[in-house]
Amino acid sequence: MEYMVYEQKGSYAILTVSREKALNALNSALLEELNQALDRIDLEQVRCLILTGAGTKSFVAGADIGEMQRLTKEEGEAFGKKGNNIFRKLETFPIPVIAAVNGFALGGGCELAMSCDLRLAADNALFGQPEVGLGITPGFGGTQRLARLVGMGMAKQLIYTGRSIKADEALRVGLVNAVYPQEELLPAAEKMAAGIARNAPIAVRGCKKAINEGLDVDMDSAIVIEEKLFGGCFETYDQQEGMAAFLEKRKVEAFRNK
């Protein structure tokens, strides 16, 4: 692939957006490669994914303005749909995804980070939805995910003003989970990914599914989703081994994802 670099490290993997000269900006070709890269991940082996950007300046600086400038209404809607389909695929990806935000995360870059389960930021990271300054709305889920993460009032403020915020403010408003010095960001993400990967994969995937699907329905329906996923863990090897290890006061030998 031209714009994506994939590295598997045992039970977790790192996917890097690699278009550094353009600050890793999203164009149609890069979006398609991201889609293909997700399809190629071996979910039997990989239990957690880290998504980051090449270099130290930018996670993803946004969508490619040069490509978007001359789009018609129909083409603009189609481009938004393409991005939304892929970001939704990432959001509902079976395994947890950690965004290691190593710089600019603006427009489509902020939307990409918000499509991940967790966001760890370098101290030089910058977040924002500046689209109104370009004469457009956020188009890859920004109006929806930002409000869900930071609340409607703060989301409207950031989107209406087009103002960008630094990593410390992003942490304060709940947009990111933690902030690290640039050189510590990827090691911290890898440590977290390895920790997640050590847990029972069926259970972790069930937790992700329960949270994602439960937040979109009323509480009574959400509880039913949880009950079914909870029940589905029983009679698995991982459930039997995990509980046996607890009762026998020993460490789990290995979760087998079955």
The residues of the chain scoring below 50 in pLDDT are none
Which residues of the chain does CATH 3.90.226.10 include?
A: 4-197
Answer yes or no: 91 catalytic.
no
Q: Quick one: which of 65, 42, 45, 51 has its CA closest to 14?
A: 51
Bridge-partner residues for 104, per DSSP?
Answer: 58, 126
d(CA 113, CA 117): 8
Q: Quick one: which of 91, 89, 68 has its CA closest to 137?
A: 68
* pLDDT score for 64: 87
Q: How far is CA 248 from each of CA 48, 62, 67, 238, 254, rounded to the nearest angstrom?
A: 28, 52, 60, 15, 15
Burial (CB count within 10 angstroms: exposed 0-12, middle 13-18, buried 19+), residue 162: middle
* pLDDT score for 96: 98
How many alpha carbons lie under 13 Å from residue 245 in its C-beta half-sphere? 13
* pLDDT score for 225: 97
Query: Could you report the per-residue pLDDT of 19-59, keeping only the tens digit for each?
Result: 999 999 999 999 999 999 999 999 999 999 999 999 999 99
What is the rounded radius of gyration, in angstroms, for the C-alpha atoms of the chain? 19
Q: Which of these is catalytic: 7, 33, 131, 183?
A: 131
CATH class of 199-247: mainly alpha
Determine the Cα angle at 43 with ends 40 and 48, to 5°.
105
Answer yes or no: 248 catalytic.
no
d(CA 119, CA 116): 7
Q: Which of these is catalytic: 44, 77, 111, 184?
A: 111
Which residues of the chain does CATH 1.10.12.10 include?
A: 199-247
Burial (CB count within 10 angstroms: exposed 0-12, middle 13-18, buried 19+), residue 222: middle
Instruction: Find out if CATH 1.10.260.40 is the number for domain 4-197.
Output: no
d(CA 42, CA 246): 30
The two three-digit tokens of residue 70, written as one number: 């001359």
